[in-house]
Structure 1
Amino acid sequence: MNSLLQRQVSKYLDEEALEDPKIKAFLTAIDESYNNSEEQFNMLQRAMRISSDELFDANQQLRTDVMYQKDILDSITTAIQALNLKEFEKENGEFEIKDLAEHIREQSEELQIAARKQEQLLKNLENKNQVLTDYAHMVSHDLKSPLRSVDTLISWIKTDNYDSLTAEGKEHFDMILKNVEKMDALIEGILNYSTIEMADHGQYQVDTKYMVQEIVDLLVIPDGIEVEISEKLPVIKADKFRIQQLFENIIHNAVKSIEHEGKIEINVADAGELWKFEIKDSGKGIPERHHHKIFKIFEKIDTNQNSTGIGLSIAKKVVDFYGGQISLESKEDVGTSFYFTLPK
């Protein structure tokens, strides 16, 4: 039996309850779902790590190819300069001119070979990205199916036996449902992260002020937190789905950082060809030692069990998609400001 489930069963169910056939069947179903979910989630993590390593190696290879091509161009420039000097300075330079011409021809052929290799490498990367996206869809579906079954089964049992359950038992069922919801959010986050660059929802005029207000209205924000939205938030041309994910994840992160009372401010500044947005909170702040990993997927900087470690990595991926930059300034017990740029 799954270790987490075993601990909960030992804590809340007595030996007599464990002998009940219905309870046994129910626990077996949950145990199988736990094991199946953990196994496939580990497979997805391994696949994403492998893909990241492949992309890193490919980027290194591309960088090497670019430097190689630059060396070739430098050689051609030097050869042409030498050719002109010899043509004018030496009467018997015919043989050397032919030699340089042959050298240039060889370099040109090498350049064409390098260009073909680079084109093939880029094509392979595109294929691998597509395979990763398809795999993420498949695994996410396979993970969500047993979770939905567990959620439905637990809800039915809780409803049918609500009057006979103790307060402790009701709390136990609520905890199971909460963990199922957390797993569902994690799977959804992985799916969103893996499809940011692939999904094509079209380009539209997006009113960021209206969108941010919608996000704030839909989020569960405690009464003690004030949200101030700048009237200057612009209309930009972009994919509404991506921009919504960007703002929603950073604002949600700001809400979580405020423990009791505080303030969240959403501002914007004109930065030439870009808009520079700022989402500022008066929360607990982020220690400087965590700044370097704040945007990495699956990285969590606190012990919040409800955190998936994906939200800010999705935000960065959206900004990267539009060619912008994202950064933060933070001071413990004072607050955090996230800055990001988007094209006008």
Structure 2
Amino acid sequence: MKKSSIPPKSIESFIHAIDRSYYNYEDQFNMLQRAMSISSQELFEASQKLKKEAEHQKKVIASLTDATQILQSITIKRPKGSNQNKELTGIELAKLIEQQALQISEIEKQQNILLKNLEKRNKELNEYANIVSHDLKSPLRNIDTLIHWIKEDTKGEIETPVKNNLELIQQNIQRMDDLINGVLEYSVIDNVSRTPETNVDINILTTEILSSLQLPENITITIPYTLPIIKSDPVKIQKIFQNLINNAIQAMNKDKGEIGIEYEEKLNFWEFRIKDNGVGIAKKYHDKIFQIFQTLDDQKKSTGIGLSIVKKVVEFYNGKIWMESQQGIGSVFYFTLKK
């Protein structure tokens, strides 16, 4: 036999290469087995999950794009010639959101400054109202005192026309005093720091109001059932009931006057009703009577502030007030207070 001419080292390298190929084959075979061990169902579920995640990401990007486009249209002036419908890249979108966040932060700072200025102005107005009311009342008291002195010094000597004129002056002084008090009350309704909120028993409150009134003998006020207890400022709530009850008394023109105080509990609020069988109000005046200084009283006994105070207090508590009325039959005033 002829001897091989292949050097021993070459044969060794060849055998080593063959050996490495077996190892590589084993690795590939293991990978193939691993791939084959994954069932088709698992592959389908994994694929579906990836698709859902991709769809979710698309929706998030679309929502962010819509939001930023809206913000752009409101707060950013695009340069002329720019493409309004151009899609934003991820980096552009992030920059735009950052820009909007900075603008919103700046707006909030401006709003805080504005609120502080409004609070300061409101405090100044309240102080001004108190000063003005005091300054206006002082000469009224002086005039009233002088009239009393004139009456005392001229007892039995003063003529009837002069006496009537002096009484008319005193009536107007009283009306002016009531008007000043009304303006002062109206100006401080928004002041939340005057009286803290507490549990207000409407039964006790209405009893106190009725006991302080000079109720005419021909008028009866009825409360058919127990009224609720609400959390509120008792002074403000008293203004509502006192003004509405006084309004019903003044509007009474029947020999047998009837005034009723009722309520109904709703889901999120209380609905109160104060009704009377008085003169009634024409529909065209239903909005006017809630405006300040507006009155339907021909004799000008009313200041025209009472119902505007009621409306302002009700709206202060995010409630509503309205009325139903027919001339010659009577009126029903409704108002709501949130629980």
Is TM > 0.5 for Structure 1 vs Structure 2? yes
SS of 2:227 mapped into structure 1 = coil
Q: Deviations over 1:34-64 (max 9, x none)?
A: xxxxxxxxxxxxxxxxxxxxxxxxxxxxxxx
Match of 1:290 among 285, 292, 310: 285
2:268 is aligned with 1:273: yes
Would the alpha carbon gap of residues 75 and 171 (structure 1) be closer, same or farther in structure 2, given more than 3 Å must change? Answer: farther
Conservation of the 8 A alpha-carbon contact between 2:133 and 2:180: yes
Aligned counterparts of 2:299 and 2:204: Cα–Cα separation in 1 = 30
Q: Deviations over 1:6-40 (max 9, x none)?
A: xxxxxxxxxxxxxxxxxxxxxxxxxxxxxxxxxxx
What runs of 5+ residues in structure 2 fail to find an aligned partner?
1-61, 70-87
Of 202-211 and 99-108, more deviation after overlay is shown by 202-211
Match of 2:66 among 75, 78, 82: 78
Structure with higher Rg: it is 2
Give me the TM-score of the superposition, normalised by structure 1: 0.70
Conservation of the 8 A alpha-carbon contact between 1:79 and 1:100: no
More helix by share: 1
Aligned counterparts of 1:304 and 1:194: Cα–Cα separation in 2 = 26
Conservation of the 8 A alpha-carbon contact between 1:258 and 1:284: yes
User: Structure 2 counterpart of 1:232, which letter?
Assistant: T
Aligned counterparts of 1:232 and 1:215: Cα–Cα separation in 2 = 16
For 1:186-335, what aligned pairs fall within 5 Å after superposition? 186-198=179-191, 200-261=194-255, 262-335=257-330
Q: CA shift at 1:304, angstroms?
A: 3.2
User: Structure 2 counterpart of 1:338, which letter?
Assistant: F
Would the alpha carbon gap of residues 105 and 254 (structure 1) be closer, same or farther in structure 2, given more than 3 Å must change? Answer: same
User: Structure 2 counterpart of 1:108, which letter?
Assistant: A
Q: CA shift at 1:323, angstroms?
A: 2.1
Give me the TM-score of the superposition, normalised by structure 2: 0.71
User: Structure 2 counterpart of 1:78, which letter?
Assistant: D
Q: CA shift at 1:76, angstroms?
A: 4.5
Would the alpha carbon gap of residues 229 and 77 (structure 1) be closer, same or farther in structure 2, given more than 3 Å must change? Answer: farther
Q: Deviations over 1:280-319 (max 9, x none)?
A: 0111111111122222211223323111110011111111
User: Identity of aligned pairs, percent?
Assistant: 43
SS of 1:159 mapped into structure 2 = helix
Conservation of the 8 A alpha-carbon contact between 1:208 and 1:236: yes
Q: How many residues align?
A: 259
For 1:41-60, what aligned pairs fall within 5 Å after superposition? none
SS of 1:183 mapped into structure 2 = helix
Would the alpha carbon gap of residues 312 and 98 (structure 1) be closer, same or farther in structure 2, given more than 3 Å must change? Answer: same
User: Structure 2 counterpart of 1:335, which letter?
Assistant: G
Aligned-residue CA RMSD (Å): 2.2
Conservation of the 8 A alpha-carbon contact between 2:254 and 2:277: no
2:337 is aligned with 1:342: yes
Conservation of the 8 A alpha-carbon contact between 2:223 and 2:261: yes
SS of 1:333 mapped into structure 2 = coil
Residue in structure 1 matched with residue 151 of structure 2 by the alignment: 158
Aligned counterparts of 1:217 and 1:289: Cα–Cα separation in 2 = 34
Q: CA shift at 1:75, angstroms?
A: 8.0
User: Structure 1 counterpart of 2:66, which letter?
Assistant: T
User: Structure 1 counterpart of 2:110, which letter?
Assistant: K
Q: Deviations over 1:226-278 (max 9, x none)?
A: 21123321222222211111111111111111124321111111112322110
Aligned counterparts of 2:100 and 2:320: Cα–Cα separation in 1 = 38
User: Structure 2 counterpart of 1:216, which letter?
Assistant: L
User: Structure 1 counterpart of 2:244, which letter?
Assistant: I
User: Structure 2 counterpart of 1:292, which letter?
Assistant: D
Conservation of the 8 A alpha-carbon contact between 1:266 and 1:279: yes
Residue in structure 2 matched with residue 53 of structure 1 by the alignment: none
2:170 is aligned with 1:177: yes
2:112 is aligned with 1:124: no
Q: CA shift at 1:77, angstroms?
A: 5.8
User: Structure 2 counterpart of 1:271, which letter?
Assistant: K
